[in-house]
Structure 1
Amino acid sequence: MSIFLLFLILFVLLIIGVPVAVALGVSSLVFILIEGVPSVVVLHNMVNGINSFPLIAIPFFILAGHLMNTGGITNRIFAFARALVGWLPGGLGHVNVGASVVFAGMSGAAVADAGGLGNVEIKAMKDAGYDSDFSVGITAASSTIGPIIPPSLPLVIYGVVADTSIGQLFAAGLIPGLLMAFSLMIMVSWYAKIRNYPKDERFSLSNLWFAFKRAFLPLLTPIIIVVGISTGVFTPTEAAVAAVAYALCLGAFVYRSLSIASVLRVSQETIETTASILLIVASSTIFAWILTANQIADLFAHSLLGFTDNAVLILLIMTLLVLILGCFMETIAAITILVPVLLPVAVQIGIDPVHFGIIMILNLMLGLLTPPVGMVLYVLAKVSNTPFERCVIATAPFLIPLVVVLLLLTFIPSITMWLPNLIYR
């Protein structure tokens, strides 16, 4: 009965718009008071939940993304993507996807991609005569590549909760991220054909070389991070610090586009964002502890395995469950709550935790494109001055290629596991 009340209070609070961290904390506290659990348990679990060395990577990756954005590097990335793929039919749609792939190696967050590149991309597409729904839809869909291609904030959280190598998770995300980009570019080509969208500009080696030179140093960021982690030069956490140092050097000394005032401003924004993330982690840790202490994971596993022992069907059920809950829950909260419940079942049917992590994160990224939570949609509604409802409708067709990629990754593990197996095993 107490467990039922726990979930009932949580979902009611979420439905009426209470912040996720508060909803998790209040529902957990009510359960603890009803069960007579010592209140010190709450503080103990909250502190332990955020007392993790890998979590230090979160503020540094956020800061690196903000510094790249503020330092004018976003425009250089967009210009390079424009010279590289702008000559294709529906050119700016392809540029949108290409820029997100590059920026993914710097920010590691879908919302940062949508807020940073989104403003530049949507304005350029509208000025070129692209339909508003297409501009918003492809910008929203391409932003989900950010948390899949390393570095990735959700993968860091998953690695901590699942006690899985973050380096292997980063390696596993590279090919799926590129596959997502390829599928979206196919969708862009289809739109370009039926709506007769133009090519952005003629292909020119001289223009490509010029754009490449301007964007060369920012393009090194993901290479430095991935190579540094895979070769053991630094850990994923230390890679985040290296990314910040590199972004500061580019903005302050190379491009001279960062001032002391702008650095202080982005530092404050980073602190605010990090505080909200860690509060969610701390609150969801209590919630996850309650589920574990009451053996909810074991009950779920027994129920699911009692229903069927078919690994494919079980994986489909878990994928559908995460997909549905991702529409209603914030990504980090969903990871910290669902992983302790679902991962043991996945391991029991022979799914690698790294493979399951990529499937789970991509599932939750689709949740960012669907109401009622849909954080990317809210950001783009503000950036593009488009009503939220229109953003939802505009983004819906672009869910099709992303769902196809999700199914491919789910049932062909080698797509995800080839690179981490090559590097680490």
Structure 2
Amino acid sequence: MPNSVVLLTVHADRIDADLQIPLNELQAAFGHAVNDSSAGLVARLGPQLTAYLLRHIHPRSASGRNWAVLAGTLAVHETQNAVNGTYRELTAQLQLVPPTGEAVRHFVFQYDVVLHQVMTHKILVSVRQDWARGQLAEQQPTQVGVIELDIVNNRIAPLTINLEQGSVWRGFRAMVELGMRHISEGTDHLLFLLVLLLPAPLLVKGSRAQRSGWGRFGGMRYSLKRLLLIITAFTIGHSITLLVGAMGWVRLPAQPVEILIALSILVSAVHALRPLFPGREAWVAAGFGLVHGLAFAGTLANLRLDAAPMALSILGFNLGIELMQVGIIALVIPWLILLSQTTVYPVVRITGAFVAGVAALAWVFERVSGQTNGITTLVAQLANRAPWLLATLAIIAVATWFRGRLRPSATMDDE
């Protein structure tokens, strides 16, 4: 039969516990029909269920002092696993608060929900998040023990939990790594920036009033200045909304934010084909950076950290984003600058803009409809081969640049 699960989130002054209890097992222990008619279960029996849980959960310190147990939200969900198939479970949120002066990382967990009646039942206890040890909710939970009947002694032994001591540095480092991983896996974020950088080394054809297209290479100083402005503006934009979003000051639903990110790529792709806002790329990067920052903030908000860890996490996460972003751009930009001085760059620019535009439209469709499509799957596969794509770009850049340098010499020899 399905087991119960207890997921612990460790804070500096308390532990949040999320319980997952299968209803078919709970029904036998609770004495009420909770699995036969689970519709409206919380509304019908919420207070009784809460009282039942509190009677059977008793954490205490090693010194024997009892912890406070505060009940939170109850809900019913349908879940499944490979062994048991589909079944319904009660989820409950609790707060376990130690007495003043007692350690939060060392305690005895006395828990016999369901198990006091259903002797074959087991409770799997795991740590889902422990910021001070660098363990985040995005990772696989770490199991710390199993509560079950001791058949030999015919008793339910409490579980002694001793968590390794953490540190601020481990939590901060984990957030830097999370930021780096987030941007390396965020193909849409990088694609927006890279496509916006495609025309950055180029001058604009025509007068200020009548722009006719992208022209020749504008020089090293011109190119580096524009590239730096765009990257800095994007960083400022997403840093602002990362802060306000992670702190909960601004919240937007995830779907419209993700759609706007896809549209930002489409706008950048059109601009790479023909100037839409020449000279104002930095402002556009900053504006769309605000949107991208809201997506970054959602990752931090889901961690539900306290104020002090959240402040450090915002700093570390943003630092990780910037380190990975600057690293990837530093690998790509030299080849774009080299290519922009050759005759093949229009082909590279137009091809890149076209591919990005198609990917953006596919992402818009996917995020509006909720249906995956072959194009987004292909983009994900190409992103996994990014090192090979970068190597190909480098070879093309070096080969065409040397070819352009050698051609005048060959012409002079012929003369």
| TM-score past 0.5 threshold | no
TM-score (norm 2): 0.27
**Relative to total residues, which structure has the larger strand share, 1 or 2?**
2
Q: Which has the higher contact order (CA 8 A, sep 6+)?
A: 1
Which protein shows a greater Rg?
A: 2
Larger helix proportion of the pair: 1
